[in-house]
Amino acid sequence: MTSSLAAQLAQGASLNSALLVDRSKRKYAESYLFAGKEANHHDLYSVHALALNGFTHLRSVNPTFRTFEQALFSDAAKGVDRTLLTKEKAEEFSLTIGRFLRFLGPYLLDAPSGKILEWLVRRFR
């Protein structure tokens, strides 16, 4: 009986590993800026760098953006995982993102906003 279970697990593992190795069967990352395969070439660090560039531009246009820098665009923000925050912290973080998006609204057609949205969606879902 143990060998039967081991055989089943081995078969499942080999099927799963084939999916991981075969890139043609992988789902592409969701992206606001990049098309299918290209989105997979940009990790969180490169997307953060793009967003920081866009944020710096918008901050130069409207210095009030600065109030969101620490929470959403700092190096510490790169490590924030909303799913691991306490309920209170997650709600507070969601409110911050909501305020930022309302503030970003008038700038949505500007190119820097696309970079920022890519970061917000990829990092904070």
| Three-class secondary structure of residue 81 per DSSP | coil
User: Which pLDDT belongs to residue 27?
Assistant: 54
Tallying the residues shown for the chain, one arrives at 125
For residue 21, tell me if it sits in a domain: no
Give the domain extent around 76. 36-124
Per-residue pLDDT tens digits for 33-55: 777 777 777 788 888 999 999 99
Task: Report how far residue 42's alpha carbon sits from residue 37's, in angstroms, rounded to the nearest whole number.
Answer: 10
Of the two residues 29 and 57, the one the predictor is more confident about is 57
pLDDT for res 87: 93
Q: Is 7 a member of any domain?
A: no
Classify residue 8: in a domain, yes or no: no
Structure tokens at 125: 């879902």
pLDDT digits (tens, 9 = 90+) for 66-108: 999 999 999 999 988 888 899 999 999 999 999 999 999 999 9
Does residue 1 form part of some domain? no
Q: Which amino acid is at 124?
A: F
Contact (CB, 8 A) for 39 and 30: yes
Distance of CA 51 to the CA centre of its chain: 11
Report how many domains make up the chain.
1
Answer whether residue 119 is part of any domain.
yes
pTM above 0.85, yes or no: no
Could you tell me if residue 49 is inside a domain?
Answer: yes
Tell me the CA distances in angstroms from 33 to 26, 27, 30, 113, one per residue in order. Answer: 19, 17, 9, 10
Asked whether residue 20 carries a pLDDT value surpassing 60, the answer given is no
Residue bearing tokens 């917000």: 120
Q: Establish if 52 belongs to a structural domain.
A: yes
Residue 2 lies in a domain: no
